[in-house]
Structure 1
Amino acid sequence: MEFRHLGGSGLKVPVLTLGTGTFGGNGPLFSAWGNSGVEEAKKLIDISLEAGLNMFDSADVYSAGQAEEILGKAIEGKRDQVLISTKATFRTGEGPNDIGSSRHHLIESINGSLKRLGTDYIDLFQLHGFDAQTPIEETLSTLDDLVRAGKIRYLGVSNFSGWHLMKSLAIAEKYGWARYVAHQAYYSLIGRSYEWELMPLGIDQKIGAVVWSPLGWARLTGKIRRGTPLPENSRLQSQLNVDVGPPVDDEYLYRVVDALDEVASETGKTIPQIAINWLLQRPTVSTIVIGARNEDQLRQNLGAVGWNLTKEQVAKLDAASDTALAYPYFHQAGFERNPSPVA
């Protein structure tokens, strides 16, 4: 397993991270992802550790906290061997303060996560989304206190706009507070808008990408093709999952899958392995969060590392997945002094 620095920090993380969204299966959203219990989770973690993957990502809202509980039980006796990342910000209760990045909610959320995980520190804590109703100074000072208290070791964010992240970094620098080093962001062969602004920001500010949904919200499994019905166990069978996931035009998806098929025939690799390997060759990517309903899916995803696509294969996939840029990015791309970070 290859290890990379998490952004500009000194922490090295494996290029693949196992996501725990499939742990628990509590509720209509997460039941479509998977329902691994403690014993299945232990098997998945043992397979991961054997392959050198030692980072596990969760969130307080995954199956209403059950995913963190299962992860905590599954790593009992192995805490010194693993890195744990988790997230908070989204609603966790009906109260007016059970949401957001206020001092109140963050302290409650992190203490709750620590209890469920059965640990006294979190290796990487990430804000799950930007809270526009809480002063950034309040959020950052709270996180800095938690870092100094030893409850958090590294900080990151998720799903931020470029200005959200840049303003936060500027405020942290102004006051000498702990700095974000990671951005857990959506990025895939069928979702490349991360490259427009967030990637250049990541390069400039040394923010490592922790990629979520590298298979385009379960669309790049190799089972979704032109003229064929959705697999019965696909999360896309759930309208709720379709609505909360990134939108993708069908014809665009089929065009990318056609290119993946060509590369698959050249490499002997599966479509998911190729899609993940393509991401591993992109700037700023520190680690990719992979999911697995079972051992077979996990082993297949682990096969995405240890080899590289050729430049010609990357170019073929780049061309198939290229889309028109939104303003101001299309205008900036026409100016020779603004080269693409992935050119």
Structure 2
Amino acid sequence: MDYRNMGRTGLKVSPLCMGSMQFGWTADEDTSFSILNAAFRAGINFIDTANVYSRWVPGNPGGVSEEIIGNWMKKFKIPRGKLVIATKVRGPMGDGPNDQGLSRGHILREVEESLRRLQTDYIDLYQTHYFDEQTPIEETLSTLDDLVRQGKVRYVGCSNYPVWRLVQSFWTADRLRLGRYDTLQPHYNLVHRQEFELELEEVCLNFGLGVIPYSPLAGGFLTGKYRPNQTDVDSARAGGAARYFTERNWALLDKMEAMGVELGGRSISQVALAWLLTRPSVTSPIIGPRTLEQLEDNLGALAFELPPGMVEELDQASEWRNQA
């Protein structure tokens, strides 16, 4: 496994990150254990979760994904030092006015809950899930800085931040001599490029942030399971993928399928992940397999490199600049 530095830090992470939003939602605990074991054996050391996963599912109070990961480490005696565990804070974990957000009180309460559910005494990467317009950035960053100094958190990152808030956080950290964000988790894939590439990508490159894209397969669209004449696929994420049903994107899928054949039988999803891995800004795309078969397919993206000519073709076919 070719491990990569997480941005400017000395922390080494696998080139694919195991996402866990599906744990306790579309994958039960036993299935989740099987996926985690297979990923760990394959060399994946990076696991991403969030305290809120998956509170939107009826009967799920949130925290279930973290609990499953904690139970897995305990049951299978996984050495804690062999893993890089990332989790997040921001979303609602109750019905009260202080049960969400990035206030000092909410962060301090939720980090303890995440540590308890994960059955660990530290979190490698603690991320703010999305920005909180009602809390001063100084309050959030000083709280995260305290957690790093206490040893409960090793590094801090953010997710879903607009570029102005990300740059504001750097200014604030520098002015107050606080620890700064070392990672960004953006929504980024071949059919959703503009949001990250317009301004965020250049900031990440210049400030040395590790980039951990979520939804690298566009909610399943970049697996090829949706086609123009067959879009009624039984999937928990089908609604999110429907936004990509355009003639341009159908043509992109055809091109990726042909490339896969030319590469010796690579899947569309492997081509999509391999393209992300060629981006100089990207550290580790977050995969979310809910079966062992999907995991095996995702891991296959690490077994080859896209030739430069194919990278250029995909760049052009999915280009968002100068599009009508």
Length-normalised TM-score, structure 2? 0.93
Structure 2 residue 3 is matched with structure 1 residue 3? yes
State the match for 1:256 in structure 2.
Answer: 252
Question: Which residue does the alignment assign to 1:108?
Answer: 109
Distance 1:171 1:92 in 2: 28
- 1:60-88 CA distance string (max 9 Å, x none): 11021111101110111212221110011
Query: Given the superposition, is the C-alpha separation of residues 262 and 312 from structure 1 closer, same or farther in structure 2, using an over 3 Å criterion?
Result: same
Deviations, residues 182-230 of structure 1 (Å, cap 9, x unaligned): 0011110001111111110011111111010000121111111122233
Amino acid at match of 1:48: A
Provide the residue aligned with 1:127 in structure 2: 128
SS at match of 1:62: coil
Displacement after TM superposition at 1:249 (Å): 4.7
Q: Deviations over 1:122-144 (max 9, x none)?
A: 00111000101100000000000
Cα separation, 1, equivalents of 2:47 and 2:242: 23
- Aligned-pair CA distance for 1:252: 2.8
Among 40, 43, 46, the alignment partner of 2:37 is: 46
CA distance in 1 between counterparts of 2:322 and 2:137 reads: 30
Q: What secondary structure does 1:177 align onto?
A: coil
Instruction: Kindly provide the amino acid, as one letter, of the partner of residue 172 in structure 2.
Output: I
Are 2:308 and 1:316 equivalent residues in the alignment? no
* Paired residue type of 1:265: V
Query: Which of 40, 63, 70 is the matching residue for 1:65?
Result: 63
Q: Distance in 2 between matches of 1:130 and 1:148?
A: 22
Of 267, 274, 277, 2:274 maps to 277
The 5-angstrom pairing of residues 20-59 of structure 1 reads: 20-25=20-25, 34-37=26-29, 39-59=30-50
Identity %: 40
Q: CA RMSD in A?
A: 1.6
Inter-partner Cα distance in structure 1 for 2:296 and 2:232: 23
Residue 167 of structure 1, CA deviation:
0.6
> 8 Å contact 1:92–1:98 — kept in the other structure?
yes
Determine the C-alpha separation between the residues in 2 that align with 1:223 and 1:234: 13
Correspondence for 1:13: 13
Alignment of 1:185-334 (within 5 A): 185-193=186-194, 194-233=196-235, 235-236=237-238, 239=239, 242=240, 247-267=243-263, 268-324=265-321
Report the Cα distance in structure 2 between the residues aligned to 1:103 and 1:112, rounded to whole angstroms: 14
1: CA distance between counterparts of 2:234 and 2:36? 26
Offset of residue 306 of structure 1: 2.8
Partner of 1:86: helix, strand, or coil? strand
Give the superposition deviation at 1:40.
2.1
Q: Distance in 2 between matches of 1:129 and 1:256?
A: 30
Q: Which residue identity does 2:27 align to in structure 1? A: N
Deviation sequence 1:242-272 (CA, Å, 0-9, x none): 3xx7943522321211221121121120000
Distance 1:6 1:163 in 2: 22
In the alignment, structure 1 residue 171 sits paired with structure 2 residue 167: no
Distance 1:167 1:247, change over 3 A: farther
After superposition, give the CA deviation of every residue in 1:12-31 in whole Å (9 maximum; x if it has no partner).
Answer: 11110111111111xxxxxx
Kindly provide the amino acid, as one letter, of the partner of residue 296 in structure 1: E
| SS of equivalent to 1:217 | helix
Is the contact made by 2:27 and 2:291 (CA closer than 8 Å) also made in structure 1? no
User: Is the Cα–Cα contact under 8 Å of residues 125 and 153 in structure 2 kept in the other structure?
Assistant: yes
Distance 1:325 1:149 in 2: 49
**Code of the aligned partner of 1:317:** L
SS in 1 for 2:182: strand
Q: State the alpha-carbon separation in 2 of the partners of residues 234 and 228 from structure 1.
A: 16
Q: Structure 2: which 5+ runs fail to align?
A: 55-61
Count of residues in correspondence between the two structures: 312
- Normalised to the residue count of structure 1, the TM-score between the two structures is 0.88
Could you report, residue by residue, the CA deviation over 1:257-308 in whole angstroms, capped at 9, with x for unpaired residues? 1221121121120000000000000021111110111111111101100311
Partner of 1:161: 162
The equivalent of 1:333 in structure 2 is none
Letter in 1 for 2:251: R
SS of 2:91's partner is coil
